[in-house]
A and B are shown apart, each in its own frame.
Chain A
Amino acid sequence: MAASLQSVNPTLSRNLSSPNNSSSVAPFRSPFLRFDSTSVSRGFKPLVSFRNASSSAFVTRSAAEPQERKTFHGLCYVVGDNIDTDQIIPAEFLTLVPSNPDEYEKLGSHALVGLPAAYKERFVQPGEMKTKYSIIIGGENFGCGSSREHAPVCLGAAGAKAVVAQSYARIFFRNSVATGEIYPLDSEVRVCDECKTGDVATIELREGDSILINHTTGKEYKLKAIGDAGPVIDAGGIFAYARKAGMIPSAAA
């Protein structure tokens, strides 16, 4: 399948072909697993899968249909820069194994419990298992620190749907996509300075121009396209996506 992926996003190639102007390029999260939707050659089935919020029905669509929108709506929880994995999920909770369903739920209940006391409003209320905030707004370098996958997992387990941050640490970003637990979206400006915890917001993901609308302040923000990371997260992570695309054999019976 990989060999039939014709094109890498041209913007990305441009960035990387000029290694010396390192200070001039804004952070850019490239789309991944992009496939040329007009070429159905080499036995690869083009697949756009779409996860319905209320059921796990998957819809296969041909490339000719108009782009799907994906929408998240809910309350925002605002944090600052360099929110590291110890603040997202303190190390003492790493004894919980994410692939165990009970412990997965427990991880969610501890999401962002490592944030200092200055964060008076907690992400998950004491005694609760889930969060009332579906959108996390962050600054620079969200998710820095450890490679622990428990970090994006606990956010997803708690019920968050997306993070909107200025930039991400690479392992956190990669883990978010691989697990399909949460959408790591890039803002173009410092959204965390203009939103407050409790603001009501909508995120619309589209192929060209994804946006974050803060209904409480009335402001809109452009988000960078998540590109081909989107279908992977929609599918439920890298394995689910790879299996759907016929890239790897299904789990043995």
Chain B
Amino acid sequence: MASSVISSSPFVCKSSSSSSKKDLGFSSFTKSSQISIHRCQKKSISRKIVSVMAPQKDRSPGTTGSVKTGMTMTEKILARAAEKSLVVPGDNIWVNVDVLMTHDVCGPGAFGIFKREFGEKAKVWDPEKIVVIPDHYIFTADKRANRNVDIMREHCKEQNIKYFYDITDLGNFKANPDYKGVCHVALAQEGHCRPGEVLLGTDSHTCTAGAFGQFATGIGNTDAGFVLGTGKILLKVPPTMRFILDGEMPSYLQAKDLILQIIGEISVAGATYKTMEFSGTCIESLSMEERMTLCNMVVEAGGKNGVIPPDATTLNYVENRTSVPFEPVYSDGNASFVADYRFDVSKLEPVVAKPHSPDNRALARECKDVKIDRVYIGSCTGGKTEDFMAAAKLFHAAGKKVKVPTFLVPATQKVWMDVYALPVPGSGGKTCAQIFEEAGCDTPASPSCGACLGGPADTYARLNEPQVCVSTTNRNFPGRMGHKEGQIYLASPYTAAASALTGHVTDPREFLQ
């Protein structure tokens, strides 16, 4: 088992050589200087794409002008957010936060800490930079779960939070115009993910947003409470591991296979405290949703954040969803990487992660004797529109019915609508929903995190017995989907669909070639 190499406590403060007291530290936390920081930023954001660096103070000549030391994307993003011209891995820096996301499970705790520490009458640092997305325990009769959504409503009302994707009618998700669903997918769909920014969330899969070329990572309630009050967080700059994926993506392979391949390679602690940067010709060919799947599971390798250089695909997605100005950054040619991995994607095969660890990698075709009891297609990892399209495409190509209960949980309202409205290419105009029905799958359920993490006892598709499940989700530790002796095989949507058709773990090439 690879142990973490360059591990780091995020709390060491190191003053940069030339900065004055004001550059770092809590002296900037009084309300007036908070306002002055915002004013500086507002003044400079007057054109569409501008530098977001605040005016520099008292910098010695050596630190102005062009930076000779190369930086990786993550280093650049953090340097800019900390208003520094240069950072190196290991630096502990105070970083300005662009977006803070929370949901129904951690939101009440984070706001509870915020109020306890900053005062009952305290106001959040910026009500437009906080996004509250109920998504975890929504369609349940559990009173505490329901109460937690109500608690978030109260906080959002009191603080005038601009983005609160509320749900009040639990019996009919469509009756809630604001409700979105799974937070990481909603953040992207609603235009909150922008290149170059710092996005924090009270959820480990916040790293998903790294697909947009930003620094995105998960934090706990206490850190979030701190950010709520100050808009800043103390972070240690992570070193970057580079993963170059070249070659043409085979038609039966998906981003899920790529990340399972990588995690199997480096283990669940292989990227602890580090950045995972993905590039290469294969990455460039991936859609945004596929890139999100890739970055989503960075945390399963212990990674601090994942990042993909923004390109035309990114800009096209983002510019259609937000008018907030942003500025992408890219790794310098002479940046330092702490590890380099290269993959020829054309040689890879569909893989699964066997129970009970995301790094327990095996070829799907080598697991064909594993009898399964059910299939689950959903979650931020594998419940997006393209994930369902892929499953539908395979079901259609096969023309057969599933042999085991097959649960479908679209991540968001929008995904649900796509499943019912968009035609699946090559099917003669059928929608995913029609194909799923013909194949004998369960009806697509209300969008939420669903059974990915088990949840309250009445959660749809929860593993309540020691069954074997092939799932497009992200973790398969004991008890993850409910029952402690449940056995979860993590897989791509293609592999999940193929497995549903045979009742065994199945390589999708059985049906796709």
Contacts and interface: CB of A to CB of B under 8 A. Distances in A.
- Genuine A/B complex: yes
B377 to A, nearest CB: 19
B477 A32 contact: no
A87 B269 contact: no
Given A16-B239, A97-B109, A178-B220, A92 B25 contact: no
B336 A170 contact: no
B148 A95 contact: yes
A104 to B, nearest CB: 10
A67 interface: no
Residue picked from B9, B21, B92, B218, most chain A C-beta under 10 Å = B9
A147 B222 contact: no
Contacts of A46: none
Contacts of B23: 3
A91 interface: yes
A32 B5 contact: no
B89 to A, nearest CB: 5
Interface string A84-126: 1011001110111111100000000000001111000000000
Contacts, number: 264
A239 B11 CA distance: 13
Interface in B20-40: 20-27, 29-30
A253 interface: yes
Contacts of B105: 94-95, 148
Of A150, A168, A174, A246, most buried by chain B (CB within 10 Å of CB) is A174
Contacts of A81: 1
Nearest to A23: B5
A132 B1 CA distance: 31
Given A31-B12, A116-B485, A174 B220 contact: yes
Nearest to A20: B338
A60 interface: no
Interface residues of A, number: 82
Interface stretch (B188-196, B318-326, B414-422, B454-462): B454-462
Contact of B5 (A12, A25, A90, A239): A25
Interface string A1-16: 1111110110011011
Interface in B401-459: 453-457
B272 A12 contact: no
Interface residues of B, number: 90
Contact of A22 (B9, B338, B475, B479): B338
B19 interface: yes
Contacts of B376: none
A84 B204 CA distance: 12
A173 B220 contact: no
Contacts of B147: 95
Interface stretch (A70-78, A138-146, A154-162, A198-206): A138-146
A183 B407 CA distance: 41
B107 to A, nearest CB: 9
Interface string A177-219: 1110000000000000000000000000000000000000000
B339 A22 contact: yes
B53 interface: no
B416 to A, nearest CB: 23
Contact of A2 (B26, B144, B304): B26
Given A16-B239, A114-B479, A178-B222, A167 B272 contact: yes
B280 interface: no
A16 B90 contact: yes
Contacts of A140: 1, 3, 269
Nearest to A81: B1
Given A149-B106, A238-B226, A95 B11 contact: no
B225 to A, nearest CB: 8
Contacts of A247: 25-26, 29
Given A82-B268, A173-B9, A252-B122, A147 B204 contact: yes
Given A12-B90, A32-B92, A86-B480, A251 B219 contact: no
Contacts of B13: 1-3, 5, 32-34
A147 B200 CA distance: 11
Contacts of A31: 9, 12
A3 B478 CA distance: 45
Contact of B25 (A2, A90, A146): A2
Nearest to B449: A91
B129 interface: no
B302 interface: yes
Nearest to B122: A252
Given A27-B4, A141-B268, A95 B142 contact: yes
B148 A33 contact: no
B118 to A, nearest CB: 6
B247 interface: no
A12 B12 contact: yes
Contacts of B10: 32, 170, 174
B164 interface: no
B202 A147 contact: yes
Contacts of A168: 7
A120 to B, nearest CB: 14
Which among A16, A81, A95, A179 has the highest number of chain B CB atoms within 10 Å?
A95
Contacts of B112: 97-100
Contact of A19 (B337, B475, B479): B337
Given A146-B218, A147-B106, 11 more contacts: A3-B19, A8-B14, A8-B90, A16-B8, A19-B338, A20-B336, A86-B475, A116-B479, A116-B484, A141-B4, A149-B109
13 contacts: A12-B12, A12-B90, A19-B89, A30-B8, A42-B21, A91-B453, A97-B108, A99-B109, A116-B485, A148-B220, A149-B220, A169-B269, A170-B8
Interface of A: 1-6, 8-9, 12-13, 15-16, 19-20, 22-23, 25-34, 42, 81-82, 84, 86-87, 90-92, 94-100, 114-117, 140-141, 144-150, 166-171, 173-175, 177-179, 227-229, 232, 237-239, 242, 246-249, 251-253
